[in-house]
Amino acid sequence: MPNKLVQKIRYKINSTVKSNIFSRKQKMMRTKILDYYRNNPTDDTEIKQAVDYLSKHKLSNFYGDFQKKYNYKDIDVSVDKENGLPYVLVDGKQLYFKRSQNKRTVQLMFNGLRIEQDKDAPHCYTDEKFNVETADVLADIGCAEAYFSLLNIENLRKLYLFEQDKGWIEALEATFRPWKEKVEIVQKYVSDRNSETEVRLDDFFRDKSPLPNFYKIDVEGAESSVLSGMEEILKTKPLKVALCTYHHAEDFVRFSQFFKENGFEHRANSGVMIFQNDIDMMQPPYFRKCLVKAERR
């Protein structure tokens, strides 16, 4: 039997096993959450709404009917004949994914991205009063496939993409090739120190022009290190920061206080979410606020 076929069979078996294990964990956690709020009623309106939604649906990241508009099976995935990369179309623009990702993976990932950036989602980076404007300069910190940046690329004067994953770099170069004259891709972690693999934003942007006035920060729990490395930037204005606050249970309170102490107008997105990456260690109240939008005018 050819080696590639063996690997493919093993991958499918492992994926099925992992999926079944996670599904069982989801069912157990759903029961645990519903039991907790049955015995410990809350006055928090957003959590009440989420618990009510959960009582009628499976455990998921988000809680609201807005996500019912999206179905991964409706997503067409193509493969670029020139570079061999999978892609989907976003308003006529090609959004590329990793070479290693198959059709179903791309469908599921892109569907998740669409849900996250729905205007009613607690993960949406923008709204009518907090948006990317014409001629803005965007720094997308922890960009992965950079869906958010692609949605705004036409309006941007300059785009800085920070992503350390080599697999994403190839995809990013393909996605933003039509706008390469105004896009800079930085293959490093954004942190509070400089090294071969890390960079502080204060140091990176010290001699750069134009400077970003909008920072989107979603770095899998390293948000605190990013903020520590941009102390000088945070004193400038005008400045917008969309910061994820769900990777650690205490992040929302901590970062809300941070922006308050540093003179920013700030507010949370409406709604709450479940961070399923922590499913093995989740504790009450289980639900977390997802994002803070901070602005210095």
Task: Indicate if 23 and 154 belong to the same structural domain.
Answer: no
Residue 111 lies in a domain: no
Residue 81 lies in a domain: no
Find out whether the peptide bond into 86 is cis, omega within 30 degrees of 0.
no
Task: Indicate if 56 and 163 belong to the same structural domain.
Answer: no
Task: Indicate if 24 and 139 belong to the same structural domain.
Answer: no
Task: Indicate if 154 and 262 belong to the same structural domain.
Answer: yes
pTM above 0.75, yes or no: yes
Split at pLDDT 50, 70, 90, the class of 10 is low
Task: Indicate if 140 and 53 belong to the same structural domain.
Answer: no
Split at pLDDT 50, 70, 90, the class of 19 is confident
Residue 24 lies in a domain: yes
pLDDT at 107: 98
Task: Indicate if 18 and 146 belong to the same structural domain.
Answer: no
pLDDT at 92: 97
Q: Dihedral, CA atoms, 269, 274, 276, 279, nearest 10 degrees? A: 140
Split at pLDDT 50, 70, 90, the class of 20 is confident
Task: Indicate if 122 and 264 belong to the same structural domain.
Answer: yes
In this prediction, residues 169-192 reach a mean pLDDT of 98
CA–CA gap between residue 144 and residue 90 (Å, rounded): 16
pLDDT at 7: 64
Residue 215 lies in a domain: yes
List, for residues 113-143, the tens digit of each pLDDT value. 999 999 999 999 999 999 999 999 999 999 9
pLDDT of residue 9 exceeding 60: no
In this prediction, residues 158-186 reach a mean pLDDT of 98
Split at pLDDT 50, 70, 90, the class of 250 is very high
pLDDT at 11: 59
Residue 122 lies in a domain: yes
Point out the domain boundary residue: 46, 65, 84.
Answer: 65
Kindly provide the b/e burial profile for residues 58-91, where b requires at least 16 CB atoms within 10 angstroms of the residue's own CB. ebbbbbbebbeeeebeebebeeeeeeebbbbebe
In this prediction, residues 249-261 reach a mean pLDDT of 97
Task: Indicate if 182 and 263 belong to the same structural domain.
Answer: yes
CATH of the domain at 195: 3.40.50.150
List, for residues 227-239, the tens digit of each pLDDT value. 999 999 999 999 9
List, for residues 48-95, the tens digit of each pLDDT value. 999 999 999 999 999 999 999 999 999 999 999 999 999 999 999 999
CA–CA gap between residue 89 and residue 93 (Å, rounded): 5
Residue 101 lies in a domain: no
Number of folded domains in the chain? 2
Paired tokens of 164: 């350390």
Split at pLDDT 50, 70, 90, the class of 202 is very high
Domain that holds residue 285: 118-296
Task: Indicate if 9 and 137 belong to the same structural domain.
Answer: no
Task: Indicate if 176 and 242 belong to the same structural domain.
Answer: yes
pLDDT of residue 3 exceeding 90: no
Task: Indicate if 145 and 30 belong to the same structural domain.
Answer: no
pLDDT of residue 14 exceeding 80: no
For residue 23, what are the contacts with CB-CB under 8 A and spacing of at least 6?
A: none
pLDDT of residue 287 exceeding 70: yes
Q: How far is CA 198 from CA 29, 160, 187, 208, in A?
A: 36, 15, 9, 17
Mean pLDDT of the chain: 95
Residue 265 lies in a domain: yes
Task: Indicate if 291 and 223 belong to the same structural domain.
Answer: yes
Residue 175 lies in a domain: yes
